[in-house]
Amino acid sequence: MATNNDVKNTDRIRSEVFRSKIVTADEAAELIHDGAAIGFSGFVGAGYPKAVPAALAKKAESLHAKGEPFQVRVYTGASTDHALDGILAESDAVSFRTPFSTDGSLRRQINSGHVGYIDTHLSHLAQQVEEGFLDHLDFAVIEISGIDEEGHLIPSTSLGNNKTWLEQADKVILEVNEWQPEALNGVHDVYYSVDVPPHRKPIPLVTAHDRIGRPWLEVDPEKVVGVIETEGGDRNTKFTPLDDVSKAIGDNVVRFFQQEEAAGRLPKGTLLPLQSGIGNVANAVLAGLERAGYKGLECFSEVIQDGMLALIKSGTVSLASATALSLSPDAVDEFRDNIDFYNKHIILRPQEISNNPELIRRIGVVAMNGMVEADIYGNVNSTHVAGTKMINGIGGSGDFARNGYISIFLSPSEAKGGKISAIVPFVSHVDHTEHDTMVVVTEYGFADLRGKTPRQRAEAMIAIAHPDYRDQLRDYFERACARPNAGQTPHILPEALSWHQRFLETGSMRADD
């Protein structure tokens, strides 16, 4: 037996063709060659394979000990878990990674240049592989929750890029994870007609609650070189209780929505489909909507986290469309105990659909994403510290922000105990341009940048900066405006990036620190 996760005699594999392919994770890893490009399942810690990554790491270590090379090129849905990205990185088994990762060990190798990393929009990766812009995939390693009598694959807690990896890879390894609830069967909606140009047709989805596909994944059994039985939980995504800053951000989002409803720019009471990023601030926004008494909202988002589950229970949210269920252990229990209820209110889609620009634009998604920093003119950095160090990646923020009806970015006004301001003169990396940022929210209010010229935007942005930084920002802006030929977007180039440089040198962006 290859790993402790291997469990025989599961009734989850109901097709004889697939039962005949059961192997251990070690046996599957043996098939994978040095340099192989692998499409793994996994999106925000949900539905990643639990056994093959460890077997690959073991294989890498054993080959490296003999002086032989072994590294693979890793494609996923989004972040996975230490049990995939971390252990592969720590065994020096990764040469390339895309599109999004949150693992600390891997991050260090990315930032040293040891691992090649491409920061791809989550909606673009599947099509770019299909179009031949990236590697041809040698393998797909996909977690599922079961295989039915006809050989349909019952998906797991995330769909991510699984449909595309199963189609594109030469060989497929399946992990059937008995830990995943069987009742997930039916919650997924896998659309199979995306195609690449010139064969693309309109995607027939016009509301967040439309079902346009089938509840299973398909695979050519001829390509399946191994089926592994596992039993292991997803990543534990813990949440800290709401703090005052997050709560204030959530309240400011609600105030913005109320302004929009009053002005007739958002339908009263129902708003438009909401996308909400991940983490504590996103959860705080959802909690703010509940406190404000909203009912029957629809979400068209990437991930369903604890906060969303609570809102479904309370009726605040009637429908949540996403590509992954990423829950804390407590929320997993809640979900399992009431799975029939939740399944009525949840649809999981491939990420090329959950994050699809055509659909986000059509149904009018209100996009809400966190950020690292924004500048006074509304350019947003979502990925880099001081312009150089990759944090996690752009994820789906670009998919939603650049196609949404309203694009909102959220952040506490400062970080690192006040040493970093989230509002700066000039962002050190641009992931979302001034053309696309509509609203920025901190605990001090919302800056509504729509219809504002750059100079007007700067006033609005300075007003929501942390009070400790407002004078410093205003000083920069006023001196920039006072220069001869100040231009449409006043800047003092030798100072534009000085806040970041000061942080690198002194540990603080404050001029007086």
What mask of x and - would describe binding to a copy of itself in positions 89 to 108, judged by CB under 8 A?
-------x------------
Alpha-helix residue ranges (DSSP H) falling in 320-466: 329-337, 339-343, 351-354, 357-363, 397-401, 454-464
Measured from the CB atom, the residue of 214 and 389 that comes closer to a copy of itself is 389
Q: Which two tokens stand for residue 469?
A: 């930084």
Report which residue type is found at 330.
D
Map tokens 């079902």 to a residue.
Answer: 211
Q: Residue 17 carries which DSSP code?
A: H
Choose the stretch contacting a copy of itself; rule: CB under 8 A; options: 49-57, 216-224, 245-253, 452-460: 452-460
Does 452 sit near a copy of itself (CB under 8 A)? Answer: yes
Least separation in angstroms between CB 330 and a copy of itself: 34
Measured from the CB atom, the residue of 42 and 395 that comes closer to a copy of itself is 395
Q: Is 265 helix (H, G, I), strand (E, B) or coil?
A: coil
Does 35 sit near a copy of itself (CB under 8 A)? Answer: no
Binding site annotation covers 67? no
Q: Which of 379, 411, 437, 472 binds a copy of itself (CB under 8 A)?
A: 379
* Core vs surface per residue 171-208: b (16+ CB within 10 A) or e: bbbbbbbbbbbeebbebbbbbeebeeeeeeeebebeeb
Smallest CA-to-CA distance from 383 within 70, 71, 117 is with 117
Does 358 sit near a copy of itself (CB under 8 A)? Answer: yes
Residues 462-501 close enough to bind a copy of itself by CB under 8 A: 480-481, 485-491, 493-494, 496-498, 500-501
What mask of x and - would describe binding to a copy of itself in positions 260 to 289, judged by CB under 8 A?
---xxx-x----x-----------------
Binding site annotation covers 277? yes
Measured from the CB atom, the residue of 339 and 492 that comes closer to a copy of itself is 492
Residue 98: beta bridge partners? 75
Smallest CA-to-CA distance from 154 within 321, 326, 343 is with 343
**Count of residues engaged in binding a copy of itself, rule: CB under 8 A:** 85
Binding site annotation covers 281? yes
Measured from the CB atom, the residue of 335 and 477 that comes closer to a copy of itself is 477
Report which residue type is found at 249.
I
Does 403 sit near a copy of itself (CB under 8 A)? Answer: yes
Residues 134-173 close enough to bind a copy of itself by CB under 8 A: 134-135
Report which residue type is found at 492.
I
Measured from the CB atom, the residue of 258 and 453 that comes closer to a copy of itself is 453
Is 352 an annotated catalytic residue? no
Q: Which of 434, 463, 474, 508 binds a copy of itself (CB under 8 A)?
A: 434
Q: Which of 402, 420, 465, 466 binds a copy of itself (CB under 8 A)?
A: 402
CA distances from 249 to 92, 156, 253, 384, 429 (A): 41, 33, 6, 23, 24
Rounded Cα–Cα distance for residues 48 and 234 (Å):
7
Measured from the CB atom, the residue of 37 and 60 that comes closer to a copy of itself is 37
Least separation in angstroms between CB 222 and a copy of itself: 23
104 burial (CB, 10 Å; 0-12 / 13-18 / 19+) is exposed
Contact 120, 96 (CB under 8 A): no
Alpha-helix residue ranges (DSSP H) falling in 442-497: 454-464, 467-482, 493-496
Q: Which of 362, 419, 470, 474 binds a copy of itself (CB under 8 A)?
A: 362
Measured from the CB atom, the residue of 155 and 378 that comes closer to a copy of itself is 378
Does 258 sit near a copy of itself (CB under 8 A)? Answer: no
Does 386 sit near a copy of itself (CB under 8 A)? Answer: yes
Least separation in angstroms between CB 433 and a copy of itself: 6
Contact 139, 171 (CB under 8 A): yes
Q: Kindly name the residue from 143, 298, 302, 414 that is annotated as catalytic.
A: 302
Residues 200-239 close enough to bind a copy of itself by CB under 8 A: 200-204, 206-207
In degrees, rounded to 5, the angle at the alpha carbon of residue 385 between the alpha carbons of residues 383 and 390 is 50
Smallest CA-to-CA distance from 40 within 91, 108, 87 is with 87
Residues 414-433 close enough to bind a copy of itself by CB under 8 A: 426, 428-433
Does 318 sit near a copy of itself (CB under 8 A)? Answer: no
Q: Which long-range contacts (CB under 8 A, 24 or more apart) does 290-295 make?
A: 290/314, 290/316, 291/250, 291/251, 291/254, 292/254, 292/257, 292/258, 294/269, 295/269
Rounded Cα–Cα distance for residues 227 and 14 (Å):
12
Binding site annotation covers 416? yes
Smallest CA-to-CA distance from 391 within 117, 80, 16 is with 117
Does 132 sit near a copy of itself (CB under 8 A)? Answer: yes
Does 119 sit near a copy of itself (CB under 8 A)? Answer: yes
Least separation in angstroms between CB 383 and a copy of itself: 8
In the annotated binding site, the residues are 277-281, 392, 396, 416
Q: Which residues are catalytic?
A: 302
In the annotated binding site for CoA, the residues are 277-281, 392, 396, 416
